[in-house]
Chains A and B, each alone.
Chain A
Amino acid sequence: MRALLLRDLKLAFRAGGGFGLGIAFFLIVVILVPFSVGPESGLLTKIAPGILWLGALLACLLSLDRILALDWEDGTLDLVATSPLPLEAVVSVKALAHWLTTGVPLVVAAPLFGVLLNLPPQGYIWLVTSLALGTPALSVIGTFGAALTVGIKRGGLLLSLLILPLYVPTLIFGAELARRGAEGQAVTTPLLMLAGITFGVIALLPFASAAVLRVNLR
């Protein structure tokens, strides 16, 4: 498992784009928002947590189809499936690698982009907390979608269609946590709900992902 994780990280570094592309996309979304809603700082402050969450979510979505598709095309998945690694572990490691290469950079970059959207000072800590807690769920759910669509040619669009509804609860609680934090309201409920969703999907969804991957390898 360690070998698989290290290999995936190494590939993400060498192939380029793994780190950079998601962040660049996130940055562009954040830059485009003021152009579309106007430069008024009060409005930007109000919508900043939501926009940052949406931007992070879309940036995450961008690289989902690569989680398994590359290993599918070159036959690695067939070979891994006949190896001692259980597929549940494989999909979990894949999700972890995706989070490390996509989620973590987004979490780190989000406060910088918060400045662009005039996020109030007390909001930064909760923005980072909510993203750090929520992006693992995005990666794990995304891996499920990638496993579902891995055998489908040009499955990228379908993947988005399948995954976005599944992202609704995470987005609601994550953005709500960031918003309440920014407005100085009580954050306990969304914090607990977001943590519950994240740990729940990490514990359970890999079984579903491995099951559909097994079907696709048949």
Chain B
Amino acid sequence: MGSIWEYANPVKFSQTVSRFLAPVAIVAGACLVIGLIWGFFFTPDDFRQGSTVKIIYLHVPSALMAINAWFMMLITSLIWLVRRHHVSALAAKAAAPIGMVMTVIALLTGAIWGQPMWGTWWAWDPRLTSFLILFLFYLGYIALWEAIDDPDTAADLTSVLCIVGSVFAVLSRYAVNFWNQGLHQGASFARVEAVTGADTTEKVSNVFFYPLLMCIAGFVLLFVALVLLRTRTEIHKRRTRALLARERLA
């Protein structure tokens, strides 16, 4: 067993990805198919929410991955700044659009669920608002990558933005909690808390819990597969660039 940093070599990374991508993708697909079918067709309706509760099989995993993707970008950004491994920076770049899509899925499923439950597509609930802000952070991060030509400069600047952004994202979360408290404390929102996010897992009974776990595993593996694929694509893009540069010099 070599050091984990061996995989920071782009060529080695690409080879390893080629070996693992298919199995990971297949397991991810299997988890999602089983989890979603199980969840949608083989669980009873909730006694209060009816069949609408079943959207948690999409909503909760995507919300989870929206946050975890940013967390992964934060870690890979730090690795890039400290150890200067290109693969790390490219992995952060690769994860951003996936994280953004996850955020959008979480927001959309939340809205679709919210409509029948509390009679409105959108409410400035702290959790919803935080996800909207997270979406803006993803947008800015991706835009900065796109705006800079030199890949190493872009990697440096986006890494710092990711770190500073993380601090401000946490600040925003607290600020939004505080702000919303001051505005409305409607009873309907207590239920939003109960059905969205982490504490869901404790509230829902085991019947819902196991398929949900399956879906979460599916989303995690799907995320891993997509990040590996996109990172490999980015590596190939850089390789093409390097080869073209060499050709010009020759």
Contact = CB atoms under 8 A, between A and B. Distances in A.
A65 B189 CA distance: 41
Contacts, number: 77
Contacts of A165: 133, 136-137, 140, 165, 168, 172
Main secondary structure of the interface of B (DSSP, over half): helix
A168 B175 contact: yes
A176 B182 contact: yes
Contacts of A155: 147
Nearest to B172: A168
A212 B144 contact: no
Interface in A124-160: 144, 148-149, 151-152, 155, 158
A172 B157 contact: no
Interface string A191-208: 001000100000001001
Contacts of B133: 165, 168
Contact of B175 (A152, A161, A172): A172
B164 interface: yes
Given A215-B156, A216-B157, A158 B165 contact: no
B148 interface: yes
A29 interface: no
B161 A148 contact: yes
Nearest to B163: A208
Given A148-B144, A161-B143, A165-B165, 5 more contacts: A155-B147, A161-B139, A165-B133, A172-B175, A205-B164
Interface of B: 133, 136-137, 139-140, 143-144, 147-148, 153, 156-157, 160-161, 163-165, 168, 171-172, 174-176, 178-179, 182
